[in-house]
Amino acid sequence: MSHPAIAIDGPAASGKSTVAKLIAERLGYTFINTGAMYRAITWYVLTQGIDPADTASVNQLLPSIPLSFGKDGSRSTVLYNGQVLNTELTTQEVNDHVSTIAAIPEVRSLLVERQREYNTREAVVMEGRDIGTVVFPDTPFKYFVTASEEVRAARRAAEGLTDSIAERDKKDSSRATAPLTQAADAKLVDTSDMTIEEVVDTIVADITQKLA
Ligand code: DC
């Protein structure tokens, strides 16, 4: 029997990570943060002194990248030589270059394959930009979580982060391969005026109803 895959997509700082984690906890599914996977490749490319815009060099590096994708309890992890990566993934430098790396088709196909692998073993709540459109196009559980640009910028600032989310969203939405876009059959959840609990309740109720 196949395991349920819950797809949570949306722009940066829409609240989708927080919401996806809580939905996973409620349902007892594994939370998979796909942004961390794109961030890890970006981090590694930068540590090698390679320009993220130099697609040929990035692609050359891909087969030998010493990164692996694992799990810690009920959450996905990214490991470099066996060590879990954390703060390395959210530096300003990684924020500034991750959209360039995420636009490379070869990077995307490599990661999409890894993402699907998780769901061959277990039920997942997967958060990203192309989960409902590309990774799991056939899942009936698709949610596009968004909020106004002002609300998202304020949330980012409250976390002490200053990356330019508008610019990142623009790049992520306009790339040729798997752009950030709402799947036609995804349920739109605008979180601008909702509490986290309300968002989680709304999505869990929809999933429960569909599972019944
Ligand atoms: O969710 P995040 O901010 O950590 O994602 C970092 C970047 O990775 C984001 O700007 C776009 C890219 N990304 C993507 O292209 N596809 C995904 N499924 C997840 C993230």
What does the pLDDT average to over 122-133? 97
* 143: β partners: 8, 187
pLDDT bucket at 79, cuts 50 / 70 / 90 = very high
pLDDT bucket at 166, cuts 50 / 70 / 90 = confident
User: Coil, strand or helix: which one is 88?
Assistant: helix
Tell me the HSE value of 39 on the side-chain side, using a 13 A CA sphere. 21
> Residues 27, 207: contact at Cβ < 8 Å?
yes
* 125: β partners: 6, 31
**Ligand 1 atom 6 nearest Cα:** 35
Does pLDDT of 171 surpass 70? yes
- Measured CA to CA, the distance from residue 104 to residue 199 in angstroms comes to 32
Spatial CA neighbour of 111 closest among 155, 71, 49, 62: 62
pLDDT for 147: 92
What does the pLDDT average to over 129-141? 97
Q: Which stretches does DSSP call E strand in the chain?
A: 5-9, 30-33, 67-72, 75-80, 83-84, 124-128, 142-146, 187-190
Q: Could you give the angle at which helices 165-174 and 149-158 cross, rounded to 10 degrees?
A: 130
Which one-letter amino acid corresponds to residue 141?
Answer: F
Burial class (CB in 10 A: 0-12, 13-18, 19+), 130: buried
Spatial CA neighbour of 32 closest among 92, 74, 86: 74
pLDDT bucket at 140, cuts 50 / 70 / 90 = very high
**Ligand 1 atom 20 nearest Cα:** 35
Q: What percent of the chain has pLDDT over 70?
A: 98
pLDDT for 163: 65
Which one-letter amino acid corresponds to residue 139?
Answer: T
Ligand 1 centroid to Cα of residue 60, in Å, is 22
**Ligand 1 atom 16 nearest Cα:** 129
What does the pLDDT average to over 149-176? 83
Which one-letter amino acid corresponds to residue 40?
Answer: A
- Measured CA to CA, the distance from residue 39 to residue 99 in angstroms comes to 9
Alpha helices in 34-140 (DSSP H): 34-47, 55-61, 92-102, 105-121
Work out the number of other CB atoms within 10 angstroms of the CB of residue 138.
9
Ligand 1 centroid to Cα of residue 210, in Å, is 27
pLDDT bucket at 1, cuts 50 / 70 / 90 = low
pLDDT for 205: 98
